[in-house]
A and B are shown apart, each in its own frame.
Chain A
Amino acid sequence: MPIIKADLELCQGYANCVMEAPKLFDISDDGIVVVLEEEFGEETRGRVEAAVRSCPVSALRIED
C-alpha cells in the first residue's frame, strides 16, 4: 500500500492538508502535522494528492 510521509522539520502547521483530508491529518498542540493513517488505499489517492499539492512548504509526499 502507498504511504504518506511528512517532513516534520519543514511543516509549518498551515493545516491545508487537514482541510483536504481530515481523516488522514491533524495538527498537534505544537502546531505540527500528525499523520493519522500512514497507509491509504487507491480510492483515497486523489485526496492525498490534493493534500500534497496544498502544502505550502512541500512537507508531504507519497511513497508507493
Chain B
Amino acid sequence: MGSKTVIVGGSVGGIRAAQALRSQGFAGEIAVIDAEPHVPYDKPPLSKGFLNGAIGFDRIQLISEKELNDSEVSLLLGQRAVGIDVSGKMVLLEGGQRISYDDLVIATGVRARPSPWNAADGVHLLRTLDDAQSLKRDLLESSSVVVVGGGFIGAEVAATASKLGLLVSIVDPLAVPIGRILGDEVGERFIGLHHANGVSTHFGTGVESISGSRGNLVVRLTNGVHLSGDIVVVGIGAIPNVEWLASSGLVLDNGVVCDEFSRAVGQANIYGLGDVARWHHPGLRRLVRVEHWTNAVEQAACVARNIVNPSNPVSYSPVPYVWSDQYDWKIQIAGETSDASRCTLVEDHANLNRFAAVYADGAGFYSGIVTVNWPRAMIQCRKLLETEKDPAAPLELLRQMVPAI
C-alpha cells in the first residue's frame, strides 16, 4: 500500500493516532510533524507529578524510541506547519519544505490563553514542557504564589504549590469555579478542599492588574484586595491552534469543524482530533470540542479506523471522561455533569474522604457521574452510562457499595 498519512501535532492525539493506524494494519508511510523540539511528551503530569518533582521527563514520554523505530513512524520535530494546499495535498512547513500526503490528520491542540495582565517577569502560563520547567524552577525558589484561574489547571497548580510548602492564594471571577462543570453543591466542596489545605481563595472577584516583578508581584483584585506573591500563575483557558489553517479553505470556528466521522467538513481525506477538533457529536446532536486527554486518545482511534476503512467510516460518539488530582483527591468525571439542578450526592460514612454525585439531564435521564477517591464506583457507574437511562440505577449501585449506617 503506497498511501501516506501525515499527522500535524505530535502530542497525545497525534502519537496515539500513529500507533492506532499501525494497530489497525495501516501499512503506508506515517509522518508526525511537531513545532516543539522535544520528543513527544504527555501533558497531565505537568501540573502534578512532574511539577512537584515526583517524576522526571523519562516518565512522561508518549512513545519509546524502540516503538517509533519498530512501527516506522517518522518524526519531524521542531518543524512548524504554516499551511496546507488542499488541492495539491501538501503540508507547508515554516522552512519552505512541502510534505505530501494522501490523508492528513490535524492534531495541533490548543495553547494557553495569554495573560492580559503584564508584569516585568514572574508571570507564568502552563501548557508545554518548557512552561512547566520554568514554573518548576520558580516554584522551588519562591515562598508564595498567586494562581489566577480556579479551573482544573489552576486548582492543580495550587495543590502542587501548597504541597511544595508555598503560601498559595487562588483567584477566579466565578463564585464557585468548579461549579460551572459540576454544579455549585459539588463545586463548594472543592472550595472547602482548598481551605482544608491552607490555600486562601478569592472567588467571585476578578483581577484588575498585576504589577511588580518576580519576587515582588502584586495582584490587584476588582474588589480592592491586593495579593502579593513571588510569582503568579495564570490559568484562564486555552485557544485552538488553527491560525496556520487560515487560508486552507477548511471550516474554522472555535477549532477545526468536523463531521460525525471526525473528517474536516467537506473533506474526504482530512481529519481533526483532540483539543483542536470541534466535531458533530451524533449523540448530543451538536458541535463539541473537548479539551481532555481520554478524548484525544479515543478520537485518534476513530480517525485511524476511518483512514484505514474510508468507505465504511464509524462515527465518533464518546461518553466524555476526565480525571484530575488535587491535594489528596483523585477526581474522576464521566458523561455530562454541568446540569447543576439535578445532582444527587452519595457519601460513604465509613470513608469521609470519598463521595460520588450522580447527574441527570433536563429530561431526567442519567447523564453523568463524578467520584472523589472512589475508582471502583466510577468504573461501575461509567459503564452504566452506556446502557442505563434511569439515575436510580447508579444511585442504587453506589448505595450498595457503602456500608449501611
Given A15, A45, A46, which contacts B379 in the complex, CB threshold below 8 Å?
Answer: A15
Determine whether the beta carbon of B23 is less than 8 Å from that of A13: no
Tell me whether B383 is interfacial, beta carbon within 8 Å: yes
Determine whether the beta carbon of B293 is less than 8 Å from that of A31: no
List CB contacts (< 8 Å) of B288-303 with chain A: 293-294, 297-298, 301
- Residues of chain B within 8 A of A54, CB atoms compared: 294, 297-298
Query: Binary interface profile of B, 339-368, with partner A (CB < 8 Å = 1, else 0)?
Result: 000000000000000000000000000000
Determine whether the beta carbon of B23 is less than 8 Å from that of A49: yes
Given A15, A22, A29, which contacts B378 in the complex, CB threshold below 8 Å?
Answer: A15
Determine whether the beta carbon of A13 is less than 8 Å from that of B321: no
List CB contacts (< 8 Å) of A5-64 with chain B: 12-16, 18-19, 22, 26-29, 31-32, 45-46, 49-50, 53-54, 56
CA distance A49 to B297 in the complex (A): 12
> Given that A15-B382, A22-B383, A54-B297 are known contacts, is A28 also in contact with B20, CB under 8 Å in the complex?
no
Determine whether the beta carbon of A13 is less than 8 Å from that of B44: no
- Residues of chain B within 8 A of A18, CB atoms compared: 379, 383
Shortest distance in angstroms between B373's beta carbon and chain A's nearest beta carbon? 8
Shortest distance in angstroms between B72's beta carbon and chain A's nearest beta carbon? 16
Tell me whether B195 is interfacial, beta carbon within 8 Å: no
Given B16, B330, B332, B374, which contacts A53 in the complex, CB threshold below 8 Å?
Answer: B16
Q: How many residues of chain A are within 8 Å of chain B by beta carbon?
A: 21
- Residues of chain A within 8 A of B373, CB atoms compared: 31
Given B293, B297, B375, B383, which contacts A13 in the complex, CB threshold below 8 Å?
Answer: B375
B contact patch SS: helix
CA distance A27 to B375 in the complex (A): 7
> Given that A28-B376, A46-B24 are known contacts, is A19 also in contact with B323, CB under 8 Å in the complex?
no
Question: Which B-chain residue is minimally distant from A19 (CB atoms)?
Answer: B382
> Given that A53-B19, A56-B323 are known contacts, is A31 also in contact with B374, CB under 8 Å in the complex?
yes
Q: How many residues of chain B are within 8 Å of chain A by beta carbon?
A: 24
List CB contacts (< 8 Å) of B352-405 with chain A: 373-376, 378-379, 382-383
CA distance A46 to B24 in the complex (A): 7
Determine whether the beta carbon of B20 is less than 8 Å from that of A13: no
CA distance A53 to B376 in the complex (A): 21
CA distance A48 to B351 in the complex (A): 34
Given A12, A16, A28, A32, which contacts B294 in the complex, CB threshold below 8 Å?
Answer: A16
Given B44, B330, B376, which contacts A29 in the complex, CB threshold below 8 Å?
Answer: B376
- Residues of chain A within 8 A of B19, CB atoms compared: 49, 53
- Residues of chain B within 8 A of A14, CB atoms compared: 323, 332, 375
- Residues of chain A within 8 A of B382, CB atoms compared: 15, 19
> Given that A12-B330, A31-B375 are known contacts, is A53 also in contact with B383, CB under 8 Å in the complex?
no
CA distance A3 to B323 in the complex (A): 28
Determine whether the beta carbon of A56 is less than 8 Å from that of B44: yes
- Residues of chain B within 8 A of A31, CB atoms compared: 330, 373-376
Determine whether the beta carbon of B301 is less than 8 Å from that of A15: no
16 A/B residue pairs, CB under 8 Å, sorted by A: A12-B375, A13-B330, A13-B375, A15-B378, A15-B382, A18-B379, A19-B379, A31-B374, A46-B24, A49-B23, A53-B16, A53-B297, A54-B294, A54-B298, A56-B44, A56-B323
Extra pairs beyond A46-B24, A53-B20, A54-B294 (12, CB < 8 Å): A12-B323, A13-B330, A13-B375, A15-B375, A27-B376, A29-B376, A31-B375, A32-B375, A45-B23, A46-B23, A49-B19, A50-B301
